[in-house]
Amino acid sequence: MGLLERLRKEWFILGIVLVIAVARLEATVGVKGGPLKPEITITYIAVSAIFFNSGLSLKTEELTSALMHVKLHLFVQIFTLVFFPTAIWLFLQLLSITPINEWLLKGLQTVGCMPPPVSSAVILTKAVGGNEAAAIFNSAFGSFLVSNAVFIASALIVLFLTLGSSSSVPFTSIFSQLFMTVVVPLIIGQIVRRYIKDWLERKKPPFGAISSCVLLMIIYTTFCDTFANPNIDLDKFSLIIIVFIIFSVQMSFMILTFLFSTRDNSNFTPADTVAIIFCSTHKSLTLGIPMLKIVFAGYEHLSLISVPLLIYHPAQILLGSLLVPTIKSWMVSRQKAQKLTRQPKAPVKV
């Protein structure tokens, strides 16, 4: 793969680096009250646009393609929304006594509460040759229940970040804004899709690229607030430790899901295991950043809370891509072994 092709493929990750750099150079454009008016254009218009786009692009018919894999889907959802955030919370109780920046640790907890992504797990599952239908189902199911997933993830964030804390949380304002900027645009998008479905099928608009561009705008304004605030300081030690923790958590959970899904009584095929590994451990940046913008509206440390998720996204793609050959080799060898065990033994000639 040539350099230009690689850059074109990874344009979104490069875009994240670019908008953060631009925010560092000129923060006054995207701060609250600045020319972009992010308190309106981002908080309401941009976030709503992402979920309207999700509603417009969602093919609800895909939900039936792998509907029978109930056990697999339950495994993924329980691991993602129950085990993952709980394990991170327990781990952070140990890290809370360290000098690591507390807002980065809070951001790490929010990563644990995020729903699965819409596409990256499917892409990697397909690259390995795993159960793509199951991965697509989880993505489509997650998109179909995106409003519920956002509400659940938001509730988890509030729950885990307030455990042991005496601070009050404005539940009413958080969930009312979630309803207006997530549920309503999503429903409108689905309604509009019903009337222009044929046109969408013919033209195939770049829904992913549109959402990614809006997401870059959200990230830019978030970091503008950070760089414009002289009271916020991020030490390199904390950042390096967080990067190490993120890669360690991803690798550990991939191994854990592998061990769980390959037990003798699990009844998962090798292809199922591949889908489980990626779908259970990946987290959604597309849903996550707008969600953090709503839940932590008004927090001056919002950008620091966002940092772990911004690191987790490219890390999951990088680590997953590096492991594709290894996982594919295991899957193929396991499938061959299973075929041999199923073949009837030839009769012994006397």
Beta-carbon contacts of 217 under 8 Å, excluding residues fewer than 6 positions away, are 19, 42, 46
How many percent of the chain have pLDDT more than 90? Answer: 17
DSSP assignment string, 13-40: HHHHHHHHHHHHH--TTTSTTSTT-HHH
CA-CA distances (angstroms) from residue 197 to 14, 211, 237? 33, 19, 51
Which range, 82-91, 168-177, 332-341, has the best average confidence (pLDDT)? 82-91
Specify the pLDDT at position 242: 93
Distance from the first to the final alpha carbon of the chain: 58
Among the listed ranges 20-34, 147-161, 183-197, which one has the minimum average pLDDT value? 147-161
DSSP assignment string, 92-116: HHHHTTSSS-HHHHHHHHHHHHPPP
C-alpha closest to that of 85 among 111, 104, 118: 111
* 22, pLDDT greater than 90: yes
* 345, pLDDT greater than 70: no
* pLDDT tier, 86 (very low <50, low <70, confident <90, very high otherwise): very high
- Contact status, residue 11 vs residue 4, Cβ threshold 8 Å: no
Residue ranges per structural domain of the chain: 3-338
* 175, pLDDT greater than 80: no
What is this structure's pTM? 0.74
Q: What is the pLDDT of residues 108-146, one digit of tens each?
A: 999 988 877 756 777 788 778 888 777 767 766 655 555
Specify the pLDDT at position 288: 79
Specify the pLDDT at position 132: 73
* pLDDT tier, 39 (very low <50, low <70, confident <90, very high otherwise): confident
* 295, pLDDT greater than 60: yes
Residue with tokens 């290894």: 326
* 166, pLDDT greater than 50: no
Q: Round the average pLDDT of the chain to a whole number and report it.
A: 81
CATH of 3-338, one of 1.20.1530.20, 3.40.50.620, 1.10.3470.10, 1.10.3720.10: 1.20.1530.20
* 208, pLDDT greater than 90: no
Average pLDDT of the segment spanning 69-81: 84
Average pLDDT of the segment spanning 235-249: 91
* pLDDT tier, 252 (very low <50, low <70, confident <90, very high otherwise): very high
* 274, pLDDT greater than 70: yes
Beta-carbon contacts of 81 under 8 Å, excluding residues fewer than 6 positions away, are 113, 115, 152, 153, 156
Specify the pLDDT at position 143: 54
Distance of CA 136 to the CA centre of its chain: 15
* 258, pLDDT greater than 90: yes
Specify the pLDDT at position 321: 82
